[in-house]
Structure formats: structure tokens, C-alpha cells
């Protein structure tokens, strides 16, 4: 009887994610070469955060398939999709260590001028926008990966030229998700960063911003 209880307890204590293939970022030598240990821990937090989103409420136990399903939905949708509530996403990102966050991200908080709905708004303060840090460690990583991968070479080249991801790359990646294996660290990490960077439209941001000023 005691043995049966021990076995039952053991089975119940196994994490539900055990059926999913765990991503080991450190298996990518370029990640361990580029990022410090504390920065890698930050990357792991981002991966877990996005993994939970793409698999939440779905019966798909395979995390690789869950990402493909997510991007297919984006590719087929005729409306703009926002995967996270922005306030919740920002709260998560702000919880990262002061070294972890700038390795990938930068917050821009002010806009000098914004023209929407036939109205020009000037000097908008505390109007947060999230971007990939063009001078962060992740860009250094893309440069290294790009030496052997033409896709990431192109992404890195774009960042060097315009300091941002291009509109073409934003539309291309979800439409061509099938060629990526998201169990591979470089692909999963890019998918995670791509998804986190999916911001609300300026119209959505502005509506919330104006509501806070009432």
C-alpha cells in the first residue's frame, strides 16, 4: 500500500510540461559565447513566457507544433493579432533584470509627433513602445548566426541598415513558418522575440493613452 501511494505521489508531482521537448538554450554554443549566464536566464524566462501563451488552452502537447499553429493563425488572419495584453507584457518585461532586458529590448517612451485620424498629436510623453535593441547582445548573436544561416544574415543586415525589423520580414516570417524547426534554439528564440515584439497598433495605444488622460 505504501509503495502504491509513493508511486501515485510521484506521478502526480511530475510537471505537466514533461511531454514537451525542453529547450536547452545552452546547447547553442553561440548563445553561451554571446550572452552571460544571467542574460541566458533572462532569455529562458522569455521563452517560458511565450511558450505558455502559444500552448495555453490548446490540446497540442508538442510545443514545436504549437508555434506552427500560432504562426499559421497569424498568416491566415485578415485582422491584426495582438498575442499579449500590452500592460501585462510590459509588466513581465520590466520584471527582467537590468542586464537581461537591454540584451534584447529597448523601451521608447516619448513621441514627438503622431498623426492619426486626421489629427496631429505632439509631444506624447509616457507613450511606451517596445523595440528590439539595435545595439543589444541579441544583434551580436544574429551576426554570428548569420555567418552560416542566410535567413539570419538577412535579419542582421536589416538591423544594421535601419535599426529595426523590416515590414517585409514581419509579414514573411509567419507565412513561411513551416520551414523552421522551433526545437532549434536559434529558431525558437527568434520566434519568441518576434512574438514579444508584436505590439498593439498606434490607434490602440493612443486610445488607451488618451483614456488615462481623462
Burial label for 142, CB within 10 Å (0-12, 13-18, 19+), is buried
User: What does the pLDDT read at residue 60?
Assistant: 66
User: What does the pLDDT read at residue 17?
Assistant: 39
CA–CA gap between residue 45 and residue 126 (Å, rounded): 26
User: What does the pLDDT read at residue 16?
Assistant: 41
CA–CA gap between residue 182 and residue 66 (Å, rounded): 9
User: What does the pLDDT read at residue 19?
Assistant: 41
User: What does the pLDDT read at residue 13?
Assistant: 37
pTM reported for the whole predicted model: 0.86
User: What does the pLDDT read at residue 184?
Assistant: 97
Which residue in this structure is represented by grid cell 548563445?
31
User: What does the pLDDT read at residue 125?
Assistant: 86
Q: What is the pLDDT along the chain (214 residues), one digit of tens a residue?
A: 444 333 333 333 334 433 446 799 999 999 999 999 999 999 999 999 999 999 986 666 799 999 999 999 999 998 888 899 999 999 999 999 999 999 999 999 888 888 877 788 888 888 889 999 999 999 999 999 999 999 999 999 999 999 999 999 999 999 999 999 999 999 999 999 999 999 988 888 888 878 877 6
User: What does the pLDDT read at residue 128?
Assistant: 87
User: What does the pLDDT read at residue 120?
Assistant: 85
Amino acid at each position: 500500500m505504501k509503495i502504491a501511494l509513493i508511486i501515485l505521489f510521484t506521478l502526480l508531482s511530475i510537471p505537466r510540461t514533461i511531454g514537451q521537448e525542453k529547450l536547452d538554450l545552452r546547447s547553442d554554443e553561440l548563445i553561451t559565447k554571446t550572452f552571460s549566464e544571467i542574460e541566458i536566464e533572462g532569455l529562458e524566462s522569455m521563452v517560458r513566457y511565450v511558450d505558455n501563451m502559444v500552448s495555453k488552452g490548446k490540446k497540442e502537447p508538442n510545443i514545436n507544433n504549437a508555434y506552427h499553429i500560432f504562426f499559421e493563425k497569424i498568416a491566415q488572419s485578415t485582422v491584426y493579432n495582438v498575442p499579449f495584453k500590452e500592460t501585462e507584457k510590459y509588466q513581465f518585461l520590466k520584471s527582467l533584470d537590468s542586464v537581461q532586458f537591454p540584451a534584447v529590448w529597448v523601451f521608447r517612451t516619448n513621441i514627438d509627433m503622431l498623426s492619426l485620424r486626421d489629427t496631429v498629436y505632439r509631444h506624447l510623453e509616457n507613450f511606451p513602445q517596445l523595440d528590439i535593441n539595435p545595439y543589444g547582445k541579441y544583434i551580436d548573436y544574429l551576426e554570428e548566426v548569420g555567418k552560416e544561416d542566410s535567413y539570419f544574415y538577412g535579419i542582421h543586415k536589416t538591423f544594421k541598415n535601419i535599426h529595426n525589423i523590416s515590414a517585409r520580414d514581419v509579414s514573411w516570417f509567419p507565412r513561411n513558418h513551416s520551414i523552421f524547426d522551433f526545437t532549434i534554439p536559434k529558431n525558437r528564440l527568434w520566434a519568441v522575440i518576434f512574438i514579444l515584439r508584436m505590439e498593439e497598433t498606434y490607434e490602440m495605444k493612443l486610445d488607451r493613452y488618451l483614456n488615462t488622460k481623462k
